[in-house]
Structure 1
């Protein structure tokens, strides 16, 4: 099974692709979709959609996993995150890929063993779980973590 993990953001949407065969996982690819803050929002969202469509076409994932939206102190930031998240979910649906959502705490727990893990701890565990892979940046690392979380929970998703 090929799993696409997504960490949506208006400034840098992370994506990661892994293969899960039984309990074994392996890295396929990862990247970040960066947009220019000076560009109008509609164009930025269209760019995320275009690049994500190319990723889906290139790697043909079976399923996708995405982080749930969280509400932070700045409502405008939360709304921008929600826009990017909506575009990524729509892109997956348009590509015929089912999407499962995971909380940030569950993703961290699946990778490190605690939902309170730091980003550094998650990235350190990714080096252990996906040896030899070159992770493009922090957003790609988060996306790979979401994909691994789905690999670990895929048998439970239908229950």
Structure 2
């Protein structure tokens, strides 16, 4: 049990520190120096500031934030993933401040995140050349389809109901 608690503490720290994105973190990434390789490095994953997508600055509200989908060397997946962020709130992986920021983001970006059904699975959908590379041209994952920005009403209705009662 002690080892599990230690592991969960380390995981929570890692997620809250390296996967959290808000306006402050976005501005820090924009000013990152690259090719840092010591324990004192600020840019731990050597994320290239040029990898910031154009849409992210308009999408990020001043009072809001979210957990990004993936961090890998030199690149982050800046898309917003509904399920992961909602589960972070429900499981208390997100701090109370982060939970509020996630809900603030949903409220501020309601038009982009809510389709004709409840919340989209991720935002924005990938398309064009990037879609072909990432999905292997899988027709199930065309823009705004099931796995690429579509809606999963069953999951999302359950999550929204529980989130409203928790936050």
- Give the structure with the higher percent strand: 1
TM-score normalised per structure 1? 0.24
Q: Which has the higher contact order (CA 8 A, sep 6+)?
A: 1
Larger Rg: 2
